[in-house]
Structure 1
Amino acid sequence: MPLTEQPRSRATGRAARGRPRSARRTSLPMTALLWLLILVYAFPVAWLLLSSLKPGSELFSYPLSILPEDPTFSGYSDAWTRVDFARYFGNTLLVATVTTVLTVLASASTGYALAKYRARWLSVFFVCVLATTMLPTEVILTPTFSVIRNLGLYDSLAGIVVPSIITATGIFMFRQFFLTVPDDLLEAARIDGASELGIFVRVMLPIARPIVLTLAIFSFQWRWNDYIWPLIVLNDPGKFTLQVALRSIVGAENIDWPVLLSASVISLLPLVLLFAVFQRYVLGADLNAGLKD
């Protein structure tokens, strides 16, 4: 090796050895900030969980304590039996599951059409779909209620499901994903004799599995936590969803806090379980699976 290259190689080696240290110094403040944010967001959740284990006399004792002195699960049993929790839980699960399945299918098919079919009116239609995101929910409540009432869906679970199927967010997600799929893949499927429906079901949907799971999680969460629309549409207490039922626990003058807190924790469990089961599919999925450069 020439002598002139030796100092250069030594300097390069020193720079390479110095990079991890500087990167470590930069990552430490960011890591500390992330842990601080985790604590800030986790504190209210921890307070809710621990308060649900406290008896009513201990909830407002002074000074306030985070840990329960006399833990009890009576609030959970009272919430499940006294409030007819099983009925409301089943209503909400039915609404959230049916709406999620229909939302994913409608969004995937609409996004596929907007991405892979060529027509001028499709671009205008897509702009109109995106424009709906600019409207506050309160603006469309009255016309939506009029349509549901005229269709005879008032005071029924179907009245909650039907207006929630089409979402601009889901259509946008699928359209943007399907735009990245090469048209050659569709042409190859057509040459092999696949129908348009077969291409969508057998080719496009399996490729879009990460988007399907992501939208399914979001849609299930939206419908599970929905409160305003079920409160407007439903009148029969036997058809109430979970969030409306939780609001009925709050009385005009007296609130049973142990039951309310315990019922709130139970209502969170399906969402936590859903994310725990499907997060590895969403975060670890390969968006380019099945595609070639």
Structure 2
Amino acid sequence: MTGFLTRTRGKTRMDVTDILAFAWLILGTLVIAIPIGWAFLSSFKPEAEINSFPPTLMPRAAETLVIEGYDDPLPAYAWTDETGETRTVGLIRRIGLKATVVDPDTPGERLSVDAAAIEKRTEIRPEWSNYTDPLERFAFLTYLKNSVFVTVVATVMTLVLNSMAAFALSKYRFRGSTTIFVLMLSTLMLPLSVIMVPAFMVIVGLNLADNLWGVIFSTVATPTGVFLLRQYMLTIPDDLIEAARVDAASEFRIYWRIILPLSAPALAVLAIFSVIWRWNDFLWPLIVLSSPENYTLQLGLNAFQGQFTVQWHYILSMTVVALLPVTLIFLFLQRYITEGVASSGVK
């Protein structure tokens, strides 16, 4: 990593292209990282702090005072009196331009002051209940389990079925193979909205509506995956396959023991794409699933949005949780991305 960051085109000093490249990389990193960082920090804010203006960067919460004679802690405010002295008081109520406060030193005396003379006191305090409440009060773990099941099963089936199709289109010579490949790629131009109704009718006909398998089966065959794997498999020498056939290896054994291990970089790239597609899919599960116990994570997050209120503190915290699996998979498989994408375009 250090060698990559310190590599320059110039022999003794940085070239202008190095400066432009680093400036572009830094700008791109900031554009991507700032919204993610903001969402992460905001996921620890109380609900009132998220809706406050002007917005704050760090998660801050109002300080409270425990005052004798009051059952609940009162929000702490800084009050500047007529003499210019600033004291910490507890706010009882605020009506219009007047506020009723109490001094902790004289809890029996209530003071009526101008609302403009008091200022809320806050401290940096993460709101951990944003993460614990959805796990305790809502069926978030059920949504998470459903998303993991759909993502894992759909990704495994995608790798197997697409690699089989790519193996046949790249290593077998038969009439119409090019036509089949072109027709398969042409389906990339069809958006989901075009095939949504017939696809749903097929799912209903198979009695898979409101079933997680209905979400899985309709998405495992992807022309992008077939194209990616086929282009990569074209780089594998045919001599290896012929030698295996001479040794009496079956076609499935050639596929399983030779083609799949050599196609590992392209399979890793397709696995990353598949995980991102299935994990973030919202529209198709929304169409197929109707029971809350079958909801995936994205549908579960939508449940925090009501007709009149939006629970942003829960949405942000659970969005951060939803980002973790995809981020970890990307970190583990990122070294295959450049190799797999670059090699899949070489014939």
1:257 aligned to 312, 315, 336, which one? 312
Q: Is the 8 A contact 1:153 1:159 kept in 2?
A: yes
2:29 aligned to 24, 31, 38, which one? 38
Distance of 1:22 and 1:139 partners within structure 2: 55
Counterpart of 1:66 in structure 2 is: 57
Pair member with larger Rg: 2
Superposition deviation, residue 85 in structure 1: 0.8
Q: Is the 8 A contact 1:52 1:261 kept in 2?
A: yes
Distance of 2:160 and 2:139 partners within structure 1: 33
Counterpart of 1:134 in structure 2 is: 189
1:162 aligned to 204, 217, 228, which one? 217
Distance of 1:61 and 1:23 partners within structure 2: 45
Confirm or deny that 1:53 pairs with 2:44: yes
Which structure features the higher share of helix residues?
A: 1
Superposition deviation, residue 182 in structure 1: 1.3
Distance of 1:39 and 1:237 partners within structure 2: 37
1:109 maps to amino acid = M
2:265 maps to amino acid = P
Distance of 1:117 and 1:103 partners within structure 2: 21
Distance of 1:87 and 1:234 partners within structure 2: 14
1:110 aligned to 165, 180, 189, which one? 165
Distance of 1:46 and 1:259 partners within structure 2: 16
Q: Is the 8 A contact 1:47 1:66 kept in 2?
A: yes
SS of residue paired to 2:218: helix
Counterpart of 1:85 in structure 2 is: 140
SS of residue paired to 1:249: coil
Superposition deviation, residue 277 in structure 1: 2.1
Q: Deviations over 1:183-228 (max 9, x none)?
A: 1111111111211111000000000001111111110110010000
Q: Is the 8 A contact 2:210 2:288 kept in 1?
A: yes
Percent identity between matched residues is 42
Q: Structure with the greater relative contact order (CA < 8 A, sep ≥ 6): 1 or 2? A: 1
Distance of 2:170 and 2:337 partners within structure 1: 22
Q: Is the 8 A contact 1:186 1:199 kept in 2?
A: yes
Counterpart of 1:13 in structure 2 is: none
1:226 maps to amino acid = D
Superposition deviation, residue 281 in structure 1: 4.7
Counterpart of 1:175 in structure 2 is: 230
1:271 aligned to 326, 335, 340, which one? 326
Q: Deviations over 1:209-252 (max 9, x none)?
A: 01111111110110010000000001111000010111111000
Distance of 2:53 and 2:292 partners within structure 1: 37
Distance of 1:75 and 1:211 partners within structure 2: 39
Confirm or deny that 1:225 pairs with 2:280: yes
1:280 maps to amino acid = R
Counterpart of 1:191 in structure 2 is: 246
Superposition deviation, residue 23 in structure 1: 5.8
Q: Is the 8 A contact 1:79 1:262 kept in 2?
A: no
Count of residues in Structure 1 that have an aligned counterpart in Structure 2: 271
Q: Is the 8 A contact 1:80 1:263 kept in 2?
A: no
Superposition deviation, residue 284 in structure 1: 6.8
TM value normalised by structure 1: 0.88
2:157 maps to amino acid = L
1:41 maps to amino acid = I
Which structure features the higher share of strand residues?
A: 2
Q: Aligned pair in 2 of structure 1 residues 33, 56: CA closer, same or farther (>3 Å)?
A: same
Counterpart of 1:96 in structure 2 is: 151
Q: Which stretches in structure 1 are left out of the alignment for 5+ residues? A: 1-17, 289-293
Distance of 2:337 and 2:185 partners within structure 1: 24
Distance of 2:173 and 2:14 partners within structure 1: 48
Q: Deviations over 1:254-280 (max 9, x none)?
A: 112211111111111111111122223
Distance of 2:32 and 2:10 partners within structure 1: 33
Superposition deviation, residue 136 in structure 1: 1.1
SS of residue paired to 1:180: coil
Distance of 1:21 and 1:84 partners within structure 2: 60
**Off by >3 Å, runs of 4+ in structure 1:** 280-285
Superposition deviation, residue 22 in structure 1: 7.1
